Every structure is written in C-alpha cells, then in structure tokens.
Amino acid sequence: MLNFLKQVGDYAKESVQAAKYIGQGLSVTFDHMRRRPVTVQYPYEKIIPSERYRGRIHFEFDKCISCEVCVRVCPINLPVVDWEFDKASKKKTLNHYSIDFGVCIFCGNCVEYCPTNCLSMTEEYEMAAYDRHELNYDNVAMGRLPYKVTQDPMVTPLREYGYLPKGVTDPHDLPAGSRRAGKLPQEILEEAESAASGADN
C-alpha cells in the first residue's frame, strides 16, 4: 500500500514538473508572438544600413597624394599604393591603388587618417564572391559608388528597429515622413552647440 502511495506521489510530482516545463516553453512562444519579426524578405526587402555603417571603402583616385598614411595606420598594412616619383614635377604619381577586402577588417583607420579624405566608408555589404581573389579591389572597383538601398527600385527598404518611430515595431508600411524615436544626431549637435554658446555668454 505504501509503495502504491509513493508511486502516486511521484507521478503527481512529475506531472506538476512537466506542466511547469510546458508552461515555461509556451511562455517563450507567446512572448515571441508579441515581438516584431527579425527577418526580412531578402533580397526583395533590405534593412537600411545605419548612418555610420562601415562597408566597402570608396576611393577617389584624383585626390590621393600617395602619402601611404593609410598603409601605416592599417593594422595589417593592407592598402597597396603603387606610385613612382616624377622628377619633372618633383611629385609622386599614383599608378594603382588597391585594398583586398577579403583580408580587410573594416576598422576604418585608413579612412579616418587619410589627409585628403579620398577614402570613405560606404553602406555596401553585399560582397560575396566565389573566388576570394575577386575581393582584391583595384582603384577602378573602389571608385564605384554603391547602389543605395533607398534608391534601388527593385528593393523595399526597411528601417532597423532603432530607426523606427516610438512605439512602432513593424518597419512595413510606415507613413511617409515618419521620424524615428529620439533625437537626430544633428539635433544633439545643435543642442550641444547652443548649450556651449550659452555657457560662454
């Protein structure tokens, strides 16, 4: 009899535990039903990269003075600056410039320190290639400007979560002109400048 009661007790205990675990599992499921989907219908829909996204580097050949600062500040000395000295003008003449984006870590040091601002980060992130050597971009490939997600007629651009209006969690069918939650960078800058000028007066 005691053995039977013990079995019933164990069974009841296990049933309660099983119900608890099912409840925990379902609570995760129901919690996700209230969240926005994190996936988009790529490549028909694409997330708009953030303002400071560090994508493929753009290069302006005419602005480069072959100073090689970009090479020295690069953690892996990656940019290849092929120049020769022109005795007549006593200046360096740039022949070729290249960066291997299969090796680049997109740290942005070269962009930050280039004295003539001929390097800039773009929002291009689709650089998949079958051959890694195709990722070694020369100055012609780097001189190409990327297709912006917002200007591509084949793509529906979607805002990332941090760029949605307050209280909105679905980036689809946003009313035109709806602004994101919080202050814009230029507004923060203007406030800081007016606060600084107020402190000076």
**Residues of each annotated binding site:** 64, 67, 70, 74, 104, 107, 110, 114
Choices 15-23, 108-116, 126-134, 184-192; region in contact with ligand SF4 by CB under 6 A: 108-116
| CB nearer to ligand SF4: pick between 64 and 158 | 64
Per CB under 6 A, 70 contacts ligand SF4: yes
Q: Which of 15, 50, 116, 178 binds ligand SF4 (CB under 6 A)?
A: 116
Q: Which of 47, 55, 58, 66 binds ligand SF4 (CB under 6 A)?
A: 66
Smallest distance from ligand SF4 to CB 103, Å = 7
Q: Which of 46, 49, 98, 114 binds ligand SF4 (CB under 6 A)?
A: 114
Q: Which two tokens stand for residue 109?
A: 């040091």
Q: What is the DSSP string of the chain?
A: -HHHHHHHHHHHHHHHHHHHHHHHHHHHHHHHHTSPPS---TTTEEEPPPTT---SEEE-GGG-----HHHHHSTT---EEEEEEETTTTEEEEEEEEEETTT-----HHHHH-TT--EEE-S------SSGGGGEEEHHHHTSPPPPGGG-TT-EEE--GGGSPTT----TTPPTTPPPSS--HHHHHHHHHHHHHHHH-
Per CB under 6 A, 80 contacts ligand SF4: no
Choices 41-49, 102-110, 123-131, 138-146; region in contact with ligand SF4 by CB under 6 A: 102-110
Q: CB atoms < 10 A from the CB of 47, how many?
A: 16
* Among candidate residues 134, 105, 102, the one with its CA nearest the CA of residue 121: 105
Smallest distance from ligand SF4 to CB 163, Å = 25
- Annotated binding site for [4Fe-4S] cluster, which residues? 64, 67, 70, 74, 104, 107, 110, 114
Per CB under 6 A, 107 contacts ligand SF4: yes
Per CB under 6 A, 108 contacts ligand SF4: yes
Residues that bind ligand SF4 (CB under 6 A): 64-70, 73-76, 78-79, 81, 99, 104-110, 114-116, 118-119
